[in-house]
Amino acid sequence: ILADGGHVSRNGQTLLDLLVLLVPLREALNKALIEIPGPVNAALERMLPMLRFLSHNDGGLAVFNGVSRTSAGRIKAVLERDQILGRPLNSAPLTGYSRMTQGRASVIMDTGLPPAPGRNPNATCSPLAFELCDGPHRIVVNCGSRQGADAQWQAASRCTSAHSTMTLAGQDTSTVIDNFFTRHLFDTPALITSGHAEAEVRSEDHGSIISARHTAYVRNFGLAHERRLFLNADGRDLRGEDRFVPEGPLPDAALDPAFAIRFHLHPSVKATLSRDGGCVMLLLPNKVGWRFSARGGRLSLESSIYLPDSKSARPTQQIVISGVAGRPDRVLWAFKRLKSAPKPRPSE
């Protein structure tokens, strides 16, 4: 358990599994008047706020680094037995996540790199991916993982393109090594990533801001990815900026690689692309509408899948902004909650 309360695997489901065992154990020791070991008690006091940190406003886990169940019921049962009620911070730099909560909306963002080989068999290549939840309804998600999935599904869910972040030239942010030696040494594929990731979270009167960057693409393309998210004070307006920043000597690879910025949608969200391709209208199960718009790339609506909480892959959709890095050097986008339900218009 790291100093900020996260597990070394960076998997929120592993953290929850440990708490399901340790919280009742602590209660049993208390009733038996047996002293609780200091390191165990200190770890629990850090883990419980981190569980709140990694949970959306719908009560379930954010889907990062191999989470296959959102487990809202189990989380509620654990937190009801928490007597300390420690408040989570807005940044967990050691575990590698950042969080914003305003109004009904919650945003959780991966601001770290994959854990060391052997720490997590389902680790993912997902720096700067994020999820957005509006009250009990998730809007932007990651494809996640599925328990008992075969090797092909596991490999697919590990890719950068299976997350709500940016890819350059269709490449993952990590090199995935899966062979006899990695299986023998670590019992899991090894994700090797160059560069680093960092983030800063600020809260102001008008809202919260996450400023993050990673340099995993610098070696191949000479570009760092910077992402800035702003969530306003009532949680109805999420704005984002993705930038491509030259860094270090230019590599031999072709200049200005193609980029794709993906926003995977939860299966319960109905999405409709406008006739002019300028925006996407989103309708939640409670008939609340959101509008997505972007500037700096071509907007499209494509198929996707969602793996958690199901025995099979559930079909869904993803919003994709595509273009060429450097023309322009940044992409602006926004999710805005509508005052009334949108009237869907047929796509072209």
18-32, 126-140, 147-161: least confident range: 147-161
pTM: 0.93
Q: How far is CA 30 from CA 10, 37, 195, in A?
A: 30, 11, 46
Q: What are the pLDDT digits (tens) for 37-77?
A: 999 999 999 999 999 999 999 999 999 999 999 999 999 99
In 173-206, the DSSP E strands lie at 175-177, 190-192, 197-204
- Mean pLDDT for 241-257 is 80
pLDDT beyond 70 at 345: no
Measure the CA angle with vertex 140, ends 9 and 149; round to 5°. Answer: 50
CA-based radius of gyration for the chain = 20
Question: Which of 154-168, 184-198, 330-344 reaches the highest mean pLDDT?
Answer: 154-168
What's the pLDDT score for residue 147? 82
For residue 318, give the 3-state DSSP assignment: strand
Q: What percent of the chain has pLDDT over 90?
A: 76
- Mean pLDDT for 231-260 is 87
Is the CB of residue 67 less than 8 Å from the CB of residue 126? no
What's the pLDDT score for residue 150? 80
- Mean pLDDT for 204-228 is 95
What is the C-alpha separation between 208 and 230, in angstroms, rounded?
6
Q: What percent of the chain has pLDDT over 70?
A: 96
Burial of 275 (0-12, 13-18, 19+ CB in 10 A): exposed
What's the pLDDT score for residue 314? 95
- Give me the long-range contacts of 297-305 (CB less than 8 A, separation at least 24): 297/259, 297/261, 297/321, 297/322, 297/323, 297/331, 298/322, 298/323, 299/273, 300/273, 301/271, 301/272, 301/273, 301/347, 304/143, 304/264, 304/265, 305/143
Residue with the bigger pLDDT between 288 and 188: it is 288
Confidence of residue 196 (pLDDT cuts 50, 70, 90): very high
Buried b (16+ CB within 10 A) or exposed e, 234-254: ebbbbbbbbbbeeeeeeeeee
pLDDT beyond 60 at 271: yes
Is the CB of residue 210 less than 8 Å from the CB of residue 109? yes
What's the pLDDT score for residue 252? 62
Strands 137-141 and 258-265: antiparallel
What's the pLDDT score for residue 346? 59
pLDDT beyond 80 at 253: no
Confidence of residue 342 (pLDDT cuts 50, 70, 90): low
What's the pLDDT score for residue 344? 57
pLDDT beyond 70 at 161: yes
Q: What are the pLDDT digits (tens) for 81-119?
A: 887 776 777 899 999 999 999 999 999 999 999 998 888
pLDDT beyond 50 at 285: yes
Q: What are the pLDDT digits (tens) for 296-318?
A: 999 999 999 999 998 889 999 99
What is the C-alpha separation between 343 and 348, in angstroms, rounded?
16
Please, what is the end-to-end C-alpha distance for the chain in angstroms? 51
What's the pLDDT score for residue 294? 97
What's the pLDDT score for residue 341? 53
Structure tokens at 10: 């960076």
**Residue count (the chain):** 348
Mean of per-residue pLDDT scores for the chain: 92
Burial of 185 (0-12, 13-18, 19+ CB in 10 A): exposed
What's the pLDDT score for residue 348? 47
- Mean pLDDT for 224-235 is 97
